[in-house]
Structure 1
Amino acid sequence: MSNRPNAFSARLRRTILGTIAAALVAAPLFSSANTEKKELVFGATAGPYSDQIKLGIKPILEKKGYKVKIVEFNDYVQPNLALAQGALDANAFQHVIYLDKFQKEHKLNLSEVVKVPTAPIAIYSKKHRSLNDVKEGAVVALPNDPTNQARALVLLDKFGWIKLKAGFDPIRVSEKDLEANPKKIKLLPLEAAQLPRSLDDTDYSFVNGNFAIASGLKLTEALGLEDTTAQYQNLVAVRTEDKDKQFVKDIADAYRSQEFREVVDKHFKGFVKPSYQR
Structure 2
Amino acid sequence: MSFLRRQLLLAAAATAFGLASSAYAADPAKTNLTLGATAGYNYDVLKLAIAPQLEKEGYKVRLVEFNDYVQPNMALAQGSLDANLFQHIAYLNRFKEDQKLDLINLVQSTTAPMGVYSESVKSLAELPDGARVTLPNDPSNLARALQLLVQQKLITVKADVDPLRVSERDVEQNTKNLKFVPIEAAQLPRTLGDAAIAIVPGNFATSAGLKFTSALALEVPPVNYQQVVAVRTADANKPWAQDVKAAFQSPFFKQVLDKEFPGYTRPAGL
Work out whether the TM-score is over 0.5: yes
Partner of 1:174: 167
1:43 and 1:211 map into 2 onto residues whose CA distance is: 15
Alpha-carbon distance, 1:166 to partner: 2.6
Partner of 1:165: 158
Partner of 1:12: none
Say yes or no: does 1:131 pair with 2:124.
yes
Provide runs of 4+ in structure 1 moved above 3 Å. none
2:34 and 2:269 map into 1 onto residues whose CA distance is: 25
SS state at 1:276 partner: coil
Partner of 1:62: 55
Partner of 1:232: 225
- The structure whose Rg is larger is 1
1:197 and 1:107 map into 2 onto residues whose CA distance is: 33
8 Å CA contact 1:83–1:90 kept in 2: the answer is yes
SS state at 1:238 partner: strand
Alpha-carbon distance, 1:160 to partner: 2.1
Query: Which deviates more from structure 2 when the two are superposed, residues 163-172 or residues 242-251?
Result: 163-172
Query: Which deviates more from structure 2 when the two are superposed, residues 130-139 or residues 115-124?
Result: 130-139
2:80 and 2:201 map into 1 onto residues whose CA distance is: 25
Q: CA separation of 1:34/1:206 partners in 2, compared to 1, >3 Å: closer, same or farther? A: closer
Alpha-carbon distance, 1:34 to partner: 8.0
2:28 and 2:266 map into 1 onto residues whose CA distance is: 35
SS state at 2:30 partner: coil
> One-letter code of the match for 2:117?
Y
TM-score, normalisation: structure 2: 0.88
2:41 and 2:245 map into 1 onto residues whose CA distance is: 18
8 Å CA contact 1:230–1:274 kept in 2: the answer is no
1:204 and 1:223 map into 2 onto residues whose CA distance is: 9
The match for 2:212 among 213, 219, 236 is 219
**% of aligned pairs identical?**
52
> One-letter code of the match for 1:245?
K
Structure 1 unaligned blocks of 5 or more:
1-32
Partner of 2:77: 84
1:152 and 1:166 map into 2 onto residues whose CA distance is: 17
Partner of 1:50: 43
- Higher relative helix content: 1
Partner of 1:183: 176
TM-score, normalisation: structure 1: 0.86
8 Å CA contact 1:49–1:93 kept in 2: the answer is yes
SS state at 1:126 partner: coil
SS state at 1:171 partner: helix
